[in-house]
Structure 1
Amino acid sequence: MAEMPPGSGPPRIFMSYTHVDRGLATFLGNGIGQYFEVQIGLGAVEAGRPWVERLLDDIRRSDVEGVPVGGSAWREFEDVCVEILKFLFVPPLSEPKIQPRTYSGTERRDAVFPNRNHRRHDNWGILLSELGARLILFEFKNYDRTEIGKDEIIQTSSYLTQPMGRLAAIVGSKKPNPGAHTERNQIFSSSKNVILFLTKEHLVEMLYMKERGEDPSDLIMDEVELFYLQHE
């Protein structure tokens, strides 16, 4: 075992072995929770193998061994996704508001990340200026047999009030069906709301980007621009 170089250890989401960490370990694949528990306890990683490489190996296997798809595991899926998004984007985004409700309690959003990057020329500043993305909505869909379709897109768009802005993302266990893509285009045509479709593969790629010292929000900007190009 070799000692961790400064700054090369696991992100803060792994620094205590909490309920969320156990869910994250399951999401990433069997065995990784024990791996991080041991490595954090020893303050070491395998010689010549950074923690993120082992992490990503397990993510790649997690389609079979990770968080179960379907309604029974919705909370576990949501907790894991929020922790990954916090690691990727906070800061420069602020700590998310989890399951905030409207005043009447009739609507509940999954997670909202405040974007306070006013007058900045980075990706979040551009999205704030271009889409008024003051509060960025993430909705999580851990579906098995059910399709992510037009109803989920309509619901997500309805959550985007004028003060929040016009940017949301759906993070799903599967890709949305063609009807969802059509509805997303129609919503943009009528309201200019942008709804991104993200999967586990996108989360993996952003973790790679973070490890390489790149800005993972570049992928978010790429997805926005790709949507603009395919819109009709």
Structure 2
Amino acid sequence: MDRLVQLCEVDLSERQFDSNANSIINPKHIRVKPNTTSANENERIGRGLIEKLQSIPLGRDGCYEFEDIASEIVKYLFDENLTGWHQQKRTTDDLHRYDLICRVIDNSTIWKFISQNLDSRYVLFEFKNYKEQIGQSQIYSTEKYLYEKAKRKVCFLISRTGASDNALAACQGAMREHGKLILCLDDKGLTEMISCKVSGDDPNELLFEKVDKFLMELPR
């Protein structure tokens, strides 16, 4: 309709007709310079986090640094999907301390799934800077933090070298028997998600694939 109005308003005198008609039939292409500032900043932050992660020594000496950098990475990846970030939060009985606890915002498929299908309004992140793979004892300890009535049934356990087979079996048992999702991530998984965001893709989709794979392979 706007185009019709513009056509009606054209000066149809002999002197102006040719130029006006040509401008409508063959409009000039306006080049819009893309705003690359945010994209460049996103890439700079992402690559910086990968470098920081890779520089942290494994073991006790780097445990606090790993906790800080891993928290930064989680915020970088999921800042629009989680809120109420609380580091080193203790329960009221002072028996348990979470490395990081957040409230879910239903902005993407993975977080809607966690909130609605798994009935977990809060998620925990635990960080382990062990030199070796985490074992089943760490899974059992983490499982105690998850509590159905508190809508706190999901934990992402982030370590440097991943989980052992026994730890994976313990994660499967927690999900199968109690409906508690404990997903183990490592340096490689974090780096993949950071690279995903740096390239302009959605790291939430990559995380959902990991959760989906875990649940699809869950034995009876």
TM-score class, shorter-chain normalisation, is: 0.7 to 0.9
Q: Please tell me the residue identity of whatever aligns with 1:228.
A: L
Higher mean displacement: 203-212 or 85-94:
203-212
Q: Secondary structure at the residue paired with 2:131?
A: coil
For 2:105 and 2:37, locate their aligned partners in 1 and report how far apart those are by CA, in whole Å. Answer: 30
- Provide, for residues 128-181 of structure 1, a one-character-per-residue CA deviation record: whole Å limited to 9, x for no partner: 101112111110010025x41111001111101122332111100112111101
Partner of 2:161: 174
1:52 is displaced (CA, Å) by 6.5
Q: Please tell me the residue identity of whatever aligns with 2:81.
A: P
TM-score after normalising by structure 1: 0.72
Partner of 1:83: 72
1:121 is displaced (CA, Å) by 5.9
Checking the alignment, whether the CA contact within 8 Å between 2:49 and 2:73 is kept in structure 1 is: no
Checking the alignment, whether the CA contact within 8 Å between 1:93 and 1:113 is kept in structure 2 is: yes
Q: Please tell me the residue identity of whatever aligns with 1:85.
A: V
Partner of 2:97: 108
1:211 is displaced (CA, Å) by 2.0
Structure with the greater alpha carbon radius of gyration:
2
Q: Secondary structure at the residue paired with 1:175?
A: coil
Q: Secondary structure at the residue paired with 1:226?
A: helix
Q: Secondary structure at the residue paired with 1:100?
A: strand
Does residue 215 (structure 1) correspond to residue 208 (structure 2)? The answer is no
Higher fraction of strand: 2
For structure 1, the residue ranges without an aligned partner over 5 or more in a row are: 12-49
For 2:86 and 2:46, locate their aligned partners in 1 and report how far apart those are by CA, in whole Å. Answer: 30
For 1:78 and 1:97, locate their aligned partners in 2 and report how far apart those are by CA, in whole Å. Answer: 13
- Of residues 36, 51, 57, the one that matches 1:5 is 36
Note the 1:1-232 alignment, pairs <5 A: 5-11=36-42, 51=44, 55=48, 58=51, 62=54, 66-117=55-106, 122-145=109-132, 147-162=133-148, 163-232=150-219
CA separation of 1:58 and 1:95: change in aligned 2, threshold 3 A: same
* Count of residues in correspondence between the two structures: 184
User: Over aligned residue pairs, what C-alpha RMSD do you find?
Assistant: 2.3
For 2:80 and 2:66, locate their aligned partners in 1 and report how far apart those are by CA, in whole Å. Answer: 22
For structure 2, the residue ranges without an aligned partner over 5 or more in a row are: 1-34
